[in-house]
């Protein structure tokens, strides 16, 4: 089941549990706007290259639409549509005043020079500048993009609309970015994990943790969990996988990964088959890479007691059922990885106010939002006698449905 089909399935199950009217259910599912644009740029060698860019704006009942822009060869409409819808529910679960959006350009950023990436970003911004904005749709970084990409979007957008730092989040600090944003998703994973373990009378200290994906989210989650006494025994990325039964030295591994563009070759652990990372012996498994990695083929072999979904849609619905039967507790992506969009909201607030926060305030507010979010999800689980994923979907869908009805938008 692809990401869009799985997201639609979870939405429909939540809508039925909530008893939503069929017309309202249908209106919540249909995107507000879908945009597809051609982006042609001159390459460094003088030739022309054309790329296709997408922006799906799913819902704005609760506020401006919000979501990342990714540069990846496999960006395609269904995936973008699913991720935009997930952002709607994720923002509602976090209880921040946003709707959902997602965008991207079908390209391989590793095959483009810095100047080509800049030209591509500026052309894409020129094509969508009239449908984004601080109070309309606020892009952010995603796979293959980063603070520099956001700086180019900000500059290009400002040529049309005047200086507007709140048009994007995830910016460089010097252009109005927020302190704490780089670690936000990983720190949110830490707070989410702590909240879940407290339900079972446990703390992170002494828990054996495996992290699949050692990019920004995975590496920050590993660092922060390690600082709290968690024992990170195995990690993987696109270059390979490393295991140490006694616990990896995470600061040293982060330094190695930064200097060598991956974990491969790290001397403080044994190299293992990356495909085995998900079924390694551990207490907590954190998938922090691509979607669909936990499926019906490997779910039965997973040994973790808790799965914290730091990636978007890492678990297929079929795998969900197998894990539930095994008694594995899955903390769903639309809650577990919402630390990033929550601190993006803080950045947007700071830009609008023209008043910047210190990092302690950012982290303190994030902790408060994450703990409140878990409490709200649990209350919904208790109300509808459902597991955490369905509790989170019910929470998000219910908040968006209420806002839709209050604004008089029902079909």
Catalytic sites, residue numbers: 102
211: closest CA among 144, 304, 80, 111? 304
The reply to whether 66 sits in an annotated binding site is yes
CA–CA separation, 162 and 178 (whole Å)? 21
Quote the distance between the C-alpha of residue 242 and its chain's center.
24
The reply to whether 115 sits in an annotated binding site is no
The reply to whether 344 sits in an annotated binding site is yes
Contact predicate 289/218, CB 8 Å: yes
Contact predicate 50/39, CB 8 Å: yes
Element (H, E) at 139: strand 137-141
Token representation of residue 27? 């209106």
Element (H, E) at 54: strand 48-59
The reply to whether 90 sits in an annotated binding site is yes
CA–CA separation, 411 and 409 (whole Å)? 6
Contact predicate 145/69, CB 8 Å: yes
- Residue 96 to residues 126, 227, 348, 370, Cα–Cα distance (Å): 28, 28, 11, 11
Going by DSSP bridges, is the β-strand pair 208-212/231-237 parallel, antiparallel, or unpaired?
parallel
Element (H, E) at 285: strand 284-287
The reply to whether 295 sits in an annotated binding site is no
Rounded to the nearest 5 degrees, what angle is found at the Cα of 45, between the Cα atoms of 39 and 51? 15
Q: Quick one: 250 exposed, middle or buried, by C-beta within 10 A (0-12, 13-18, 19+)?
A: buried
CA–CA separation, 203 and 230 (whole Å)? 9
Binding residues for NAD(+): 185, 216
Binding residues for substrate: 66, 90, 344
The annotated binding site is made up of: 66, 90, 185, 216, 344
């Amino acid at each position: 089941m692809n990401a869009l089909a799985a997201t639609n399935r979870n939405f429909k199950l939540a809508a039925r549990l909530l008893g939503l009217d069929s017309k309202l259910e249908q209106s919540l599912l249909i995107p507000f706007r879908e945009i597809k644009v051609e982006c042609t740029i001159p390459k460094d060698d003088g030739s022309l290259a054309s790329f296709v860019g997408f922006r799906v704006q799913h819902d704005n009942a609760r506020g401006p639409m919000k979501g990342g822009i990714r540069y990846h060869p496999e960006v395609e409409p269904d995936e973008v549509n699913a991720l935009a819808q997930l952002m709607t529910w994720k923002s509602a679960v976090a209880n921040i005043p946003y709707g959902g959006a997602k965008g991207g350009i079908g390209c391989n950023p590793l095959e483009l020079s810095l100047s080509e990436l800049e030209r591509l970003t500026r052309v894409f911004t020129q094509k969508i500048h009239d449908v984004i904005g601080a109070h309309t749709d606020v892009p952010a970084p995603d796979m293959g993009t980063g603070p520099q990409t956001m700086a180019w979007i900000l500059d290009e957008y400002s040529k049309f609309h005047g200086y507007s730092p709140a048009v994007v989040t995830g910016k460089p600090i010097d252009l109005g970015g927020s302190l704490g944003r780089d670690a936000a998703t990983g720190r949110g994973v830490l707070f989410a994990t702590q909240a879940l373990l407290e339900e079972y009378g446990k703390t992170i200290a002494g828990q054996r943790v495996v992290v699949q994906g050692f990019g920004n989210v995975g590496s920050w989650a590993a660092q922060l969990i390690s600082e709290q006494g968690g024992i990170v025994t195995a990690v993987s990325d696109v270059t390979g996988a490393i295991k140490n039964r006694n616990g990896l030295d995470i600061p040293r591994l982060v330094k190695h990964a930064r200097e060598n563009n991956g974990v491969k070759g790290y001397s403080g652990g044994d190299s293992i088959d990356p495909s085995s990372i998900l079924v390694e012996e551990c207490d907590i498994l954190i998938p922090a890479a691509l979607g669909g990695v936990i499926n019906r083929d490997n779910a039965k072999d997973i040994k973790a007691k808790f799965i914290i979904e730091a990636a978007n849609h890492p678990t297929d619905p079929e795998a969900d059922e197998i894990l539930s039967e095994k008694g594995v507790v899955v903390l769903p992506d639309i809650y577990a990885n919402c630390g990033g969009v929550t601190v993006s909201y803080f950045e947007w607030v700071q830009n609008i106010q023209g008043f910047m926060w210190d990092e302690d305030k950012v982290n303190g507010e994030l902790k408060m939002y994450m703990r409140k979010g878990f409490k709200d999800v649990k209350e919904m689980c208790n109300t509808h006698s459902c597991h955490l994923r369905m509790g989170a979907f019910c929470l998000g869908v219910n908040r968006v449905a209420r806002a839709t009805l209050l604004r008089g938008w029902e079909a």
